[in-house]
Amino acid sequence: MAFEGSISAEELASIQETIPQEVLLTATQEYVIFHVIETPYKNLTMKCQFPLQYPSSPLLFELETKTLPERVKRKLVDKCEQEAEQLADKGQPQVLALWTFLSTLLQSNQLLLCTEHISDIKSRLLTGPHDSLKLSERNGTVTVRVEEAGFVVDFTVKVPRGYPGEQLELRCREATYPPAVTHMFFKQAEEVARRASKGIPLNVSLRESDPAKPSEEVVQLSISQYKHDVKFLKVAGELARMSDDKQMRREKKVLDKREWEREQQQATQVAQTAARSAPTGIPKAHRDGGEPVPALYAVVEYIVNKFARLLPHEKCAHCKQPVIDAIKKGEKQADPAERAFCGHWFHSSCLEHVMTKPPFGMQCPGDGCDSRVFHPKWTSDVKTLERRWAAAQARQREVDDARDFLGL
């Protein structure tokens, strides 16, 4: 029988001396079982038995792992078989050699857990003729370069030792995209990485990673407020037109007062909503998270597909011109790109125009968009906008009057 052999008392002694007690499960002359545990996410178990001619024949082993990808496991098995055969040719003991090989490899190769994500990144994301991928297994870095329509982004994702329980680190090495936009997308990708390490599912993080997107509840509030505002302005306008009438003036006063009270209520409600969704804006069910999620592919995909590939082709929804220009290192874009809540892009000046000039509460001019334009930097409150506009107009009238007065 093949398994009837055994190791020498001397080899057994050196195994017991070298492999730490807590990972040496069984150690007899007939049977040796040990764990190699690098992290909770990177470990394996090795079971060794011995043929009669051992150590002149290679030992027989079984390698088990629930954490390493199948293709990594197959590679490890091949390597161990080769190693055992080489030692058998020289008639040398093999168990410790395999233990050393496996523990060194798990310790020094930081990309073992990422093989599938890396091959997907290569085949699905880096499809351009000038795209490239550089890997360092020792440092655990994945360096991606993407060129799209004359734009370049070059960034490194570092896979830390405790991945996926420890968060991926992102570093932008070079980008010819506007710095503010680049910064925004990298921050969002980092947030996806952070949440994944806390066990929050990728689809939840990605849905929430829209930079200009307020939380669902705040949008609902804004929309209901918008509807109310339109009604208010209509009624107030009618009353104002009839303001010669004493009764009407009184009614308008009551209406204004009620409106003021409602505004106070609404402000409280918005503050409460914001407090409820703080600090992360993650639905409560996901806030605690489960097992860490491997996020390498998702993070790279976010930067490549949602940012690098898309933005050079994005047109301003207002003026229909490209929303970004390639810029030289250290330069700032004169008219920065801004993304509205609906996902459409605008030049900052174009969005300023859309948001602050009547008609207020305008529908987004983007193709096929039936959403109202929202952006966190501009108020969407129709009443505030009306007031500001009216004040600006009044100032202008006064200036005009003053000019007339002086006859200039």
The one-letter code for the residue type at 24 is L
Smaller CB separation from Zn ion, 58 or 366: 366
Smaller CB separation from Zn ion, 77 or 180: 180
Residue 250, SS3 per DSSP = helix
Smaller CB separation from Zn ion, 99 or 345: 345
Smaller CB separation from Zn ion, 93 or 336: 336
Shortest separation between residue 253's beta carbon and Zn ion, angstroms: 39
Shortest separation between residue 316's beta carbon and Zn ion, angstroms: 3
Shortest separation between residue 211's beta carbon and Zn ion, angstroms: 15
Beta bridge partners of 360: none
Residue 143, SS3 per DSSP = strand
Residue 194's nearest CA partner among 290, 305, 295 is: 295
What DSSP element (H or E) covers 192? helix 179-197
Shortest separation between residue 326's beta carbon and Zn ion, angstroms: 17
Smaller CB separation from Zn ion, 69 or 322: 322
Smaller CB separation from Zn ion, 126 or 319: 319
Kindly tell me the burial class for residue 369, based on how many C-beta atoms sit within 10 Å of its own C-beta (0-12, 13-18, 19 or more).
middle
Shortest separation between residue 339's beta carbon and Zn ion, angstroms: 10
Cβ neighbors of 216 (< 8 A, separation 6 or more) are: none
Smaller CB separation from Zn ion, 252 or 339: 339
Q: Quick check: 196 and 188 in contact, CB under 8 A?
A: no
Shortest separation between residue 225's beta carbon and Zn ion, angstroms: 19
Shortest separation between residue 264's beta carbon and Zn ion, angstroms: 31
Q: How many other CB atoms sit within 10 Å of the CB of residue 22?
A: 8
In the numeric block, which tokens belong to residue 167? 């968060």
Shortest separation between residue 354's beta carbon and Zn ion, angstroms: 9
Shortest separation between residue 283's beta carbon and Zn ion, angstroms: 25
**Locus of tokens 């060794």:** 48
Smaller CB separation from Zn ion, 200 or 373: 373
Shortest separation between residue 337's beta carbon and Zn ion, angstroms: 9
Cα distance between residue 333 and residue 183, in whole Å: 13
Smaller CB separation from Zn ion, 196 or 342: 342
The DSSP line for 6-68 is: ---HHHHHHHHHHS-GGGEEEE-SS-EEEEEEEETTEEEEEEEE--TTTTSS--EEEEE-SSS
Smaller CB separation from Zn ion, 59 or 324: 324
Alpha helices in 209-347 (DSSP H): 216-241, 246-277, 284-287, 296-301
Q: Quick check: 113 and 134 in contact, CB under 8 A?
A: no
Binding-site ranges for Zn ion (CB under 5 A): 316, 318-319, 342, 344, 347, 350, 364, 366, 369
Q: Is the peptide bond before 40 cis (omega within 30 degrees of 0)?
A: no
Smaller CB separation from Zn ion, 157 or 316: 316
Ramachandran quadrant class, 366 (left: phi over 0; alpha: psi -120 to 50; beta: rest): beta
Task: Give the largest Cα separation in the chain, rounded.
Answer: 117
Shortest separation between residue 320's beta carbon and Zn ion, angstroms: 7
Q: Give Cα separations from 97 to 6, 22, 88, 180 (angstroms).
A: 17, 19, 12, 53
In the numeric block, which tokens belong to residue 234? 């209509």
